[in-house]
Every structure is written in structure tokens, then in C-alpha cells.
Structure 1
Amino acid sequence: RWKPFIQNRVENIQQLVEPSQWRHCPTNSNPADILSRGSTIKRLRSDSLWWNGPSWLTDEDSWPKDIDTAKPEEYDVEYCVTEERRSIQVLVELVENIKLNPERYEHFDRLLRITAFCKRFGKNCRMPKPDRLVGCVTPLEIQDAENYWIREAQHESFSTEIYQLSNGRQIAANSRLQQFDPFLDENGILRIGGRLQNSDLPEHTKHPILLPDKHPTTTAIIRRCHLRQLHGGCEFTLATLRQRYWILKGRREVKRVIHACPSCKRIESRPFVAKMALLPSDRTRITRPFENTGLDIAGPFFTRQGKKVNKNYICLFTCMSTRAVHLEVVSEMTAPRLLQALRRFIARRGKPHILQSDNFKSFKQLDKDLSQLVSTEMIDNIARELTSHRIQWNFITERAPWMGGYWERLIRSMKTSLKKVLQNSMLEDEEFRTITSEVEARMNSRPLTYNPDNPNDLEVLTPYHFLTGTHYTDIAEVTKDEDE
């Protein structure tokens, strides 16, 4: 049925004008159709139908003969029957959406260029050909493309907060953005608020852009910054990012991106570390100090005797169980000199049952000399003791230095102490032996257990407790006044 307004007008027309005076005007002769269907100005100027009406209008005999005298109600019913159509309601919303996946692009700048060209294409389609943009994209278009992807990331992660702020409301108290006092700028981008509005700092420093964590756009921005900083570390990359952006859980996200960087992974990757085997029984049995001993040699160390410069080496003996250390200075890395160092060690610390070392040539030659002592005429007391009790000399596997790690770590500690004490000075032979003995004492006084925080606990355990039964005590320096 017609609406009341139209129905009332039709009834008024029928009351004022006789229906017998009505005639039907065909569509091709109706000037009103020109307005409803549209026409150019040039065509309208020369259109006689618009200016004069149909040609048969002046001749009454040429008027159409069919007369429609139906009442409004009948016309409504007939119209509804003949023109019955199915209506569909469609909700149309204008959405700016570019079908691009940021995860498919390794470089964020390339994604921005493609986005800028897509947006330019959409603008050129609505512009005349002479006014269309051509050539390389401009910095303004790149910035517009970056703003687009930032808005997309924020709408996907912070849609509720953006809706509340756009309607002039405060964000919820339980929102994770509540602490940042966010606001929407003129580009619709969510930024951090704060109290620095009157500061002279740049706008992007006073109010950095908020970016969500675990989002492809955020990952792409972090990767671009990491590459621009020449594969900088976590803190360097994060500090650079925070000049413009504030990423939620930023340190974790930066570490994740850097860990996945192929170049950084290839350079900084470490070889696979195998699971450590069980400690050998020689290092876990309860024995006296130096019963099972490891041996290594370090040097050279230069000393002076008058104007002559001598070359010295240090033999390090370490107990496998108590981790005690004994240092011996030798002048040469030869089997006779190492044998003399071994004799001095046995004289002070006792005979070891097992002696273990690496595959140094002098050690192998010394082991050969010890095995030949039975057939020689040597009547030295130490030689007779070695031959009668037999010291078992073991060598670690060749090209496996980690098997001697328990003495290699002590070699490092010894060298560090000597380097810090001696620096670039050159001592005399006697002074060097004295310093070596003091370094030995300091190494034997190192703690083997955790230092207690409670003063009522026992003192920390050191190798000196196994050697002397007490801790190491320095000799007090005696001044000239006290000596007198």
C-alpha cells in the first residue's frame, strides 16, 4: 500500500480532476524521465522534448486513448500483485583494508613500499589521468603506509581501548594500558600520555607509539631496527626502539627477534655441549692429599740474574680429591728437570699413587725414564723409592683437553694472579720463587664451599684445611719500630 502522504495526495487529485481527463504518457515521450535518468548539458540544449514537450501534445487527436481510472486501493492491490519483489537489507561499512600479510616480507621497508603503491593505485583510480601520481613513492606516502600498519596492529590488539577513547571515555581500570594514560593522536594512532606536554622534546619522544607484543607488525619493526643498528644487541636495539615506540614486554620481544636472526645465530651460535659424564673414581674416593695427582706445566716466565735474562716454567701439581695445589719452578722443559721437580714434590707432599697429565712430549719422556729406572745403576734414594712403589702415570686422551679441565682451571687462576702482581716487571730468580710460593698459598686458601651468611656457622672449607688442619694465616709485617 501507499504511504499516507502519497495516498492523501492521490485522493485530492482525483477529487479535483475528473479521471476521464487523464491520459497515459509513454516513457519515450515523458520529459520528466530526462531528469531522473540524467543527461549532459550539451544534449539538453538541443533536446526538443525537454524544451517543447512531446510532438503529439498539440494535436488532441493524437493523444493516447487508454485511460486508467482505477481507484487508489485497487491500484495498490494490482501494483502489489504485479510488482511483488523480495527485499534484502544490506549493511555497508567503509573499511580500509589491504590484503597483505606482514609475515611474508623479510624487510619491513619493502612492505611499506608495496603498501604505499597500493594506496596510490586506489587514489589514482578516482582521479583524472593528468592528475595521477607516478614515479617513486614519497616519504609522506611511506609514513602514511607505516601509520596504516600501526593502526591495524593496534586495532587488532587494543580494539576495546580504542573504542572507549574514541567515544571520549576512560579506559577500564583492569586494562593493561591503564598505566600508560594512552590517547589517540590526529592520525588515530594510540600513543603514551604523560606529563611532558610542555617539554621541548620531540613529539615521538614525549609520546611514543604503543605497540602490542606477539604481533607480526611489531616483529617486523623490531627486525628493521635490529638490521639498521648493524645487528646490535638486545639493550642497544631496545634503546633505539624506545626513541619512537613503546613495545609491551619489549625486552622479551627484542630477545625473541634477535634469537631468530639468521646472521646473529650463525655468528654467535655455540657448538653442542654434550652431557657431562660421571666423575672418575680417582676424584671421588676418600684419600689423603695428593694421593691422586694431576700435573701440568705453564710458561715461560722471564726472570733476571744480574744482567742475564732467564726463562722459567712452573709445574703445577693438584690433588684430584682435595683440589690442593703445589707449584714447582723449573728452568727447562726437559725430562731431567721435570724429574727433579717431581722429586721435590714427593719430598714435600708424599708419593702419589696415580699421576695424570696431558700428552706433552716431556711428560711422555719422563714416564719412559721412570719405567727404565729398574735396569739402571742409579742408587739414588728417590729412584729406589719410585722403583719399589711404582707410581702409575696416566695420560688423558689425545686432543681431548677437557679431560684435564680440573688442572687447566687452576693454571688460569695461577697465571691471573702472577699477571696482576708482576704486571710488566721482571724479578730475580729468588724473588720469582717467593712470589710463586705465595701464589700457591693463596690458591690453597680459596673457598671450596659457599661462604655462610650466618656468623654462627663454621668457617668456609679450603684446601689448607686438608693440608694443615687449619686455615691459612698471613705473616704479619714487622715495622722498623716493632723490630727495635
Structure 2
Amino acid sequence: MIARLTQFQRFWKAKRARKPKPPLWLRNVDLQQALHECIRTVQRREFKGDIQRLIADNSGIVRVGGRLEHALLPYEAKHPAILPLDHQLTRLIVEDLHVKFGHAKTERLYYETRTCYWILKGRRAAKRAVRNCMHCKRQSSTRVYPIMGQLPKERLASCVHPFSISIDFFGPYFVNISQRSEKRYGCLFTCLVTRAVNLELTDKMDMCSFLLAFRRFIGRRGTPNTVFSDNGTNLTSGQRELQEAKKRINSMELIDWLARRDIRWRFSPPAAPHHGGAWERLIKAFKSSLNAVLNEKRVREEILRTVFVEIEALLNARPLTHLSVNPQDLSPLTPNHFLLLRPHPHVPPDIVEGDSTLSRRNWIAAQQIVTQYWWRWLKEYAPNLIESKKWMKMERNIQLGDVVLVIDHNTPR
């Protein structure tokens, strides 16, 4: 802009004096002269008290003296022009060099500015240019996590029937059928309270397969009151199928079946997989066990179904509380305590923990044993849920008006 104003001024002076008019396009010399004029103006304003004690070169720009007079360097590198830190011209020059050198980082940008300019506290100016560059923010931005919220009340409900569940699909796994290979998927049902696991093998990952797996689960484990899941299209369609069955299917048997089962469905917010950490962690444990057993081999469907059940037993035998080294202490609480009234399916049912004076054969004694397990759950397991394992500190909460980049693994930066 300064170069164009100067050129416009020369053009009108030549026109009034009836002299040959200068060209209308900008030359490199015009831009350099305009830049020098900007530097002289800034120095006269910012270094007004020191300008008389400093020696200026022929161009009228105050430069650094130094000891590089005999170095084989350009004149501007041996005697760079002095610029203040917090001036708009300094910011424009540093930002221009930052873009010119491929969005250079702080140290590279700092050394590039030193070849022509001596900026007071120049490294700070370079840091500021890199920090305020929108392109660099997009490339090197870090994730912002809010502090962990409160656990849902369904996660902390005690003395309830196991399997207030959450659902998720995983896979695929390949099985050999005759001479061909087909895909099979896993459907995980987990109890948010007791952390028990139920695994189902499905043929597809669609609405029909999900409903069949859900019916098998209800037949073995009972009907849950609340179901948590992510926003998978198969799960969304299954929930919609349950809610709209009366409108779309003329089957009185199915209508009666749905009417007797009042199930409340809750979906996680979109693009928030951390809301499903309770079941995502179990899927990770299942995949680790399955890979150790199969080692990526293709087996018959019957074998895969058996492996699913055996891994389900392993996951339900995992300890929920601290494993004590004292042999006199009770064994750690496991999901099997709530499902089988013993820590492992291989333990005989007569070997139970609790008061030996109770009769182990009647229903009242069984209920008292279950009550003891729930008492241990409240005393030993529930207090461990107080502590937040991650996202404990909030550096800066997102505010209205912030420019953010929403993380989507399917979209490149």
C-alpha cells in the first residue's frame, strides 16, 4: 500500500510537471523503498530518545554495529535493522517470513529474521507468529478434553438384578463353511453395575441379526430396564424396530411380546466414543483373548461360538476389587459372584463364601449370600469409582466464539 501511494504521488508530480510518467506496475525496487520508509518511520517513533546517539547508514535506517564487518555476508545480515517487539510492522514482517519459509517453526523463523532484522526479543516475536498462525493451529493443534462428568445413576445402582446392559458390536471374524469363507460378528452385552459380560455371535451386523441376538440375551439373562449403546445404525434401527413394531407389523404375538417388555433405550452423543468406555474396554479385552487363542486363524463356526463362550467365562471371572496377598482375606469380587454365586464356573457350587452357620441349600441362605456380595460391592468396588483416571485437569474450557477443529478419524486434517 505504501509503494502504491508513493507511485501515485510520483505519477501526479510527473503529470503536473509534464514529464514522462513512471510505469503503473510495481517493481521490486519500489517495494524495497516502501519497506525502508516504513522501518524509518517506526524507528523515529519508537526510538525517539536514542536516535540521536545511534549512527544511521546512508539509507537513514538505524542498524546494529556488531563485529561482522569482515564476514562474507550480505550487508543487511552483518548490520540488521533494529525493530521493536510490539509494533504492527514487526508482526507483519515476521508473519510474512513465516509463510514464505513454509510455515517455519519458532527456531527456524527466528534465525531467518536475524538475517535482515534485529528484533528486540526476537524469539518471542517468532513464537507469537507461529502461535497465531491459523494454518499451524490446524496442523499441530492438541485435543481439548473436558473434566470427566458424573457417572450415570444406572452405573451406581446396588442390589439390582444383573444386566442393566450396554450393547456394542465388533468384528468381523471369518469362519469356514464348506468350501467358502463367511463373516461373523460379535455382539457384547455388559452389565454396568456388576460388569458381567454376555457374548453373542451374529451372522450380520444389521437390524435383524441384532434383534435375534437381543432376544437370545433376554431369554437367558432376563429383560433389562435400561439399555445403553452408541449411535450405530444397526442399533438405532433395532431400537426403532422395537418402538415402531406396532405400526409396521401386523403380528399380535410380537405386539404382546413388546408390550410386556418396557425397555428404555439411551444412546451416546454423536462423536463421543468415551461415553462407551465401560464396554469399549471389555471389547479390547475380548479381542486380546481371542487373538491369543485363534492367532488370526479361520475356524469353523461351531469352534468360534465355543471360543466366544469360553472367553465370556474368563471375562466374568476377572477380579473387580483388590487381590490381597493375605490368604485369610476374602477372594476378590468378580461378576461371577452375582451370576453363579461363586467366583468361577469350575468351582463346585457347594463351596461358597460367607457365614458357615447358614444353610446353603435353601433360598433364604442364597439371598443372604447375595446380600453379602452386594455389601462387598458397596464397600470395596464402588469407592474405586470416585477417582477420575484421566481428563482430570481442564486447561481451558471451550467458549462461545472459539474456532475449533472437530476430530473425525474419517476426515484428514
TM (norm. structure 1) is 0.42
Q: Which has the higher contact order (CA 8 A, sep 6+)?
A: 2
**Rg bigger for which structure?**
1
The answer to which structure has the higher helix fraction is 1
